[in-house]
Structure 1
Amino acid sequence: MMIALCWLALIGLFALATWFGKRLGLIAIVSQLLLGTFALPLLLYWSTPLGVGAEQLLAPGWLKPLYGIAFSLLLAHILSDVIDLDLQAASLKIALPSFFVPFFCGLACALWLLPPLDSLTAIAIGLLFALTAIPVLFLYLQDLAYPAARTRTLMQAAILMDLLCWSIFALAQGSRDPSSLAWPLLAAASPLLLRLLGLRHAVLNGSLFLALLLLLQQMGYNVLVFGIAYLLLAAGLRLPLRLPLPAKAFTALQTWLAVPLILAYGLLQIDWHGLAADFGFTATQFIALLALPAISKLAGSWLGLSWAAGGLELSQSKWRESILLNTRGLTEIVFLNLLLHQQVISTQLYFALMLMGLLCTLLPATLRRSTNLEAKSRYEVS
């Protein structure tokens, strides 16, 4: 009972931050990230809620399944909104440099700046440099009232980058355990069965997708590869899909439960007292882990946006969209949690990259809503 009360207290802190941020004109995700980046780590370092430690808070058997459900619901909703669109050449042009420039920068950082690491850890660091968070980018674009056509282009680019990220990691990990890649891809072929059986009901397709996503997540498989492959195949077969969850119910679940749970769960993985006693990085290494991912991602995104636009001229819109594509957010936190649980990365590396991800995700909050006027004039399709 005490553990449950502590979790309610943590979720309540996020609710309070969300309410207070709304009064200041901030969207919910920005308020929650500010709490998760600055206030919550201090709380976990100086004291623990009601005298209960992080290990005890993470111990309940119901917590990990609940965490998995929260992320799966969030991912399913965002992907189902954007994946059923025809792939645009502009999205591919944006995605390739935006992914590979930071990816190779991350590999170089892992091999030359950090202590000796195995190949899987080095690849994971490169992927964390390159990742763009689909859900939070979508929320930022909504808050900026971005034109629908441009939103589709940027979201497709983000999906391609995340697909590359999770697929490369799955292949690297799959060399040790081929089933970790085979089962998600096999499950993603389910739309073929629906097509053969003549089942074209949108809610049935959406229910099957969500059920398989939840099942694979609980089993520890690569749910993003499954989700994107499933929805791409369903779109190719022209099977309608609608999740069995009302929009208002999802919004409330996301704001008040899913996002706070994912953030709190990630931060509780860190031993803050042990980290303070033995950080494990020099000042140069720590600064590199904070700065290089953002610099390389901004550069890669700017090159991609320039390639898609057909010119390398500087413009406010390119830098604004580069900042948006630098969003890390919840997807990176989940990826970090996965790497930590599998002992691919250390606690010190987990903390540094989580801090980097949170700071990068807060950068788009500096964009002004009024900048959407320029975007509308350039990208709106009548």
Structure 2
Amino acid sequence: MSIALFWLGLLGLFAAATWLGSRLRLIPIVSQLLLATLGLPLLMQWSAPLGFGASELLAADWLKPLYGVAFTLLLGHILSDVIDLDLQADSVKIALPSFFLPFFCGLACALWLLPAQSLLGSIAVGLLFALTAIPVLFLYLQHLRYPAPRIRQLLQAAILMDLLCWLIFGLAQGSSQPATLLWPLLAASLPLLFKLLPCRSARFNGLCFLVLLLVMQQLKLNALVFGIAYLLCSAVLRVPLRLPLPSSVFAALQTWLAVPLILAYGLLQIDWQNAWLGYSWLQFGALLLLPIASKLLGNWLGLSWAAGRLAPSPGQWRESVLLNTRGLTEIVFLNLLLHQQVISTQLYFALMLMGLISTLLPAFTGAYPRPATTTHEARSHYEHS
């Protein structure tokens, strides 16, 4: 009972931080990242004398199933945003340098600077260098009142980058464990059956998608490959798919339950006493600076290619910074890697801190000036778009 009360109190702290952040014009994920990365270690030190250690908090029988549901909802929502078969040529030009330059930089960093790890772990580091957060990018662009065609172009570039990320990791993981790839691909063919039915419900298709995604996650099969293949199959066959929850309900679950739970679940697995000891200052500094620097350079090259010129401009610099945001997408991917023991807790901590800096960078650099539109208005627009 005391463990459940502690988790309720922790969710209450996240709610308070989110509310306070909204008064300061901060997007919810930024407030939650700040509390999780900077406040949670202090909270754990304060609660240790009361007998609330991380191992006790994570051992509750009801926690893992609840985490699985929260993780499935977020992953399903992100993947459903990723699938877009109508990409613009300029979006592809932006995405390719923006993805592959930081990806190869991260791969080189993992192979030559970091302690020895598996090839899959090194690929995962490269992918974490290359990610862009779709929801956070959308909210930033809405706050800045970008024109709709430009928002679509930049979001398509972010979608393509994230699709490449999920697909490369899924295939790399499945190549070493074929069974974890075969069953998800077979399950992803379910839309073929829906195509034969005279009456096709988009919400029922979305419900089947989420249920099977949860099953894959619980059985430790390749949920990423399943999700991408299922959504691509539905899109190609023109089988309608809509997530079963209303947008307002999903937004509330995401803000007040799913994201805080996923953040806390991942960060509580870190040994805060030794979080800095796994790497030298050179290695830790590289994990903080190289992802941001390589991503900014890749973004600038991609935007220059799409614009047909290399001359720098204030707008191009601002968009390079905005495309560097990490946010929710990286949190989900980091937790997936940590859950599957692909990365260490020290690497998780360093890259979580890097993601926080990247997400706040638009405000630090002036690329995201104080908006006239409120956070609530922009978020409502996103939820209904």
TM-score after normalising by structure 2: 0.88
Matched, 1:231 2:231: yes
CA distance in 1 between partners of 2:113 and 2:171 (Å): 25
Offset of residue 300 of structure 1: 0.7
Contact 1:33 1:362 in 2 (8 A): no
1:275 is paired with a residue of what secondary structure? Answer: coil
Aligned to 2:369: 368
Aligned to 1:333: 331
Aligned to 2:103: 103
Aligned to 2:25: 25
Amino acid at match of 1:281: Y
Aligned to 2:281: 283
* 1:93-120 Cα deviation digits (max 9, x unpaired): 1221111101111111122222333322
Contact 1:84 1:231 in 2 (8 A): no
CA distance in 1 between partners of 2:148 and 2:258 (Å): 26
Aligned to 2:167: 167
Aligned to 2:380: none
Structure 1, unaligned runs of 5 or more: 373-382
* 1:131-162 Cα deviation digits (max 9, x unpaired): 22334333434444443333332222222222
The alignment yields a C-alpha RMSD, in angstroms, of 2.4
Aligned to 2:376: none
Aligned to 2:219: 219
* 1:291-312 Cα deviation digits (max 9, x unpaired): 0001001111111122122222
- Going from structure 1 to structure 2, the CA distance change for 1:217 and 1:104 (only over 3 Å counts) comes to same
Amino acid at match of 2:209: F
Aligned to 2:69: 69
CA distance in 2 between partners of 1:300 and 1:156 (Å): 16
2:19 is paired with a residue of what secondary structure? Answer: helix
Aligned to 2:197: 197
Offset of residue 176 of structure 1: 2.0
Aligned to 1:271: 271
Offset of residue 349 of structure 1: 1.9
Aligned to 2:357: 359
Offset of residue 84 of structure 1: 4.8
- Going from structure 1 to structure 2, the CA distance change for 1:104 and 1:11 (only over 3 Å counts) comes to same
Matched, 1:152 2:152: yes
* 1:58-83 Cα deviation digits (max 9, x unpaired): 11222122122213223333444563
- Going from structure 1 to structure 2, the CA distance change for 1:49 and 1:68 (only over 3 Å counts) comes to farther
- Going from structure 1 to structure 2, the CA distance change for 1:202 and 1:341 (only over 3 Å counts) comes to closer
- Going from structure 1 to structure 2, the CA distance change for 1:180 and 1:93 (only over 3 Å counts) comes to farther
Aligned to 1:185: 185
Aligned to 1:54: 54
* 1:252-309 Cα deviation digits (max 9, x unpaired): 1111111111111111110112336xx1221111111100001001111111122122
Contact 1:30 1:365 in 2 (8 A): no
CA distance in 2 between partners of 1:371 and 1:109 (Å): 41
Runs of 4 or more above 6 Å deviation? none
Structure 2, unaligned runs of 5 or more: 374-385
CA distance in 1 between partners of 2:318 and 2:223 (Å): 30
1:309-348 equivalences in 2 (<5 Å): 309-348=307-346
CA distance in 2 between partners of 1:79 and 1:118 (Å): 26
| Range with bigger deviation, 43-52 or 201-210 | 43-52
CA distance in 1 between partners of 2:121 and 2:82 (Å): 31
CA distance in 2 between partners of 1:313 and 1:81 (Å): 32
Contact 1:79 1:228 in 2 (8 A): yes
Contact 1:6 1:50 in 2 (8 A): no
- Going from structure 1 to structure 2, the CA distance change for 1:137 and 1:216 (only over 3 Å counts) comes to farther
Offset of residue 370 of structure 1: 4.9
Contact 2:83 2:163 in 1 (8 A): no
- Going from structure 1 to structure 2, the CA distance change for 1:228 and 1:328 (only over 3 Å counts) comes to same
| Range with bigger deviation, 26-35 or 179-188 | 179-188
Contact 1:263 1:330 in 2 (8 A): no
- Going from structure 1 to structure 2, the CA distance change for 1:343 and 1:83 (only over 3 Å counts) comes to closer
1:61 is paired with a residue of what secondary structure? Answer: coil
2:71 is paired with a residue of what secondary structure? Answer: helix
CA distance in 2 between partners of 1:266 and 1:174 (Å): 24
